[in-house]
Chain A
Amino acid sequence: MAKILVIGAGFAGHTAALYLGNQLGRKHEITVMSNRDVFGYVPSWVWVGVGHMKPEQTIFKLKPVYDRMHVKFVHAAAKEIHPDASDQFVVAEEIGTGKEVRWSYDYLVIAPGPLLNFAGTPGLGPENGFTHSICSLPHAIKTRDAYLALCERMKKGEKVKIVVGTGHPGATCQGAAFEYIVNVHKDLLKKGLRDKADILWLSNEPELGDFGVNGVQIKRNGIVQKSSEFIKSVFNDHGIRYQVRTGVTKVEEGKIHWQNYEGEEGITEFDFSMLIPQFKGQPFKYIGKDGEDVSAKMVNPAGFVLVDGKYGLPYPELSQTPEAWPAQYNNPTYPNVFAAGIAFAPPGPISKPFTNKNNLLIAPAPPRTGMVSGVIGRVVAMNIVDLVKTGKMTHQERMTEMVAACIASMGDNLWDGNAVTIVMRPVVPDRKKYANEFGRDLFISHLEMGLSGAWMKFMLHYTFIWKFKGLFGWKLIPE
């Protein structure tokens, strides 16, 4: 009997657990270890952050799902990983009791998502700083409360400054911030308060609409359209000001300090701000059989797990080398250890990085979106199934092959809501396969704005919660 342990029950870990339970659960021991006992449907936290969705509509309990899927659940926070062949186990702290638990494994899937590194930018974040975040459910609730309090001030006639974007020169997840800023715009419009707010998009992207993926390009009526022009039109239409090529370096009460590509330093004042922090890997200890630190074999300096990618290529070479992106997501030194979702180390950025004259690197990190995380979770699970059954992995999918479909809602109302539907293939450009300067399939890639997107976003919320609950037909719903 094989023992398979999955750390984390988000898009990546939970997807892996569903497939593992389904394929191996009756004969082998599948365990999920998570520090939260609920699944969180993260994309809808944007709506929580403007007070349009109740927090409890975005979560459900994991244990009943796992009971049905033949998966054990351990409610604990992983702390140490001991990957050496003779004695492989994970040490964790049980939530509630604080007791130490040890869990041995034959195969390990590391999928605990990001460490939200607010400390990387002094003054950033809702706990020890002055800005807000929608990257966790408690943060989204706090953001909602602060936003609604701001609305009360505006109702009394006060004019306010709202800043949304990235809070670190190397932050990712611009898509979520974009969704938040347009939802704030739409909500203020509905409340009759839009004229009371000056709204600014502040981001580390090289261009508007870059989203950390080098933008999205499509061909329509023979003409190439770019997301930079598209998002510019959206912002102009909504009266949202924008400032890109900017790395936030520090935040003080009501003041954001930044530097731009030109090396200029500046301060932007705000009354309310939601800025995405830098993401890092979870700070696990990786310990060898003699008690030595084996982190260098397991993770990169940011704490992301090294897998079967080609690391260390300079950007110009990486951008021409699609095969540098990992395919099977297992660690070269410890091949029975896999990483899925945000936890795996990408070989480098997708968007062009820039270092300004003050030596500040302004470079959006590659996003590992929900769809990407789910696909990797499935690939990893299916390879473990292969290894258990035949000893040979047969599944692989690089980000240079993956499709991503993102729907950025701009108001959730089903009558007059709106959303931008973005489809790109592949997520990471493959300039060898697609003979155009963007390295994308311009026919499949798609950019469209309209009410239909709002319906799709609404439908996706319920469809994915259905899938993640492992209900009838869940496997037919793609990641």
Chain B
Amino acid sequence: MQNEQEFSKAEKFWMNFKLYQLWRFIVLNVKVYTIAVQSKFH
């Protein structure tokens, strides 16, 4: 965020830049899966 009130133009660009978002999709999936699966061992 460029300040507390709004997203910058650059942030908005990355939010919909398909190749970068594909990378984020992979990263987020790995992150969510690895932490969620830890719960199974409780």
Contacts and interface: CB of A to CB of B under 8 A. Distances in A.
Contacts of A452: 21-22, 24-25, 28
A450 interface: yes
The prevalent SS among residues of A at the interface is mixed
A395 B6 CA distance: 44
B42 to A, nearest CB: 4
Contact of B39 (A402, A416, A446, A450): A402
B22 A418 contact: no
B31 to A, nearest CB: 7
9 contacts: A232-B4, A233-B5, A403-B38, A446-B28, A448-B24, A449-B7, A452-B25, A455-B25, A456-B25
A478 B31 CA distance: 12
Interface of A: 225, 229-230, 232-233, 236-237, 371, 375, 378-379, 395-397, 401-403, 405, 416, 418, 421, 423, 425, 444, 446, 448-453, 455-456, 478-479
B31 A446 contact: yes
B10 interface: no
Which 5 residue pairs spanning A and B have beta carbons closest together?
A: A478-B36, A452-B25, A452-B24, A450-B15, A451-B21
Nearest to B32: A405
Contacts of B16: 416, 418, 450-451
Interface residues of B, number: 25
Given A230-B1, A237-B6, A451 B28 contact: no
Contacts of B36: 371, 403, 405, 478-479
A451 B6 contact: no
A229 B1 contact: yes
Interface string B20-42: 01101100110111011111101
A446 B40 CA distance: 21
Contacts of A423: 31-32, 35
B28 A456 contact: yes
Contacts of A421: 28, 32
A401 B39 CA distance: 9
A379 B24 CA distance: 31
Residue picked from B1, B14, B35, most chain A C-beta under 10 Å: B35
Nearest to B1: A233
B24 A479 contact: no
Given A233-B7, A421-B28, A478-B33, A449 B39 contact: no
B40 A450 contact: no
Given A233-B1, A403-B36, A451-B15, A397 B42 contact: yes
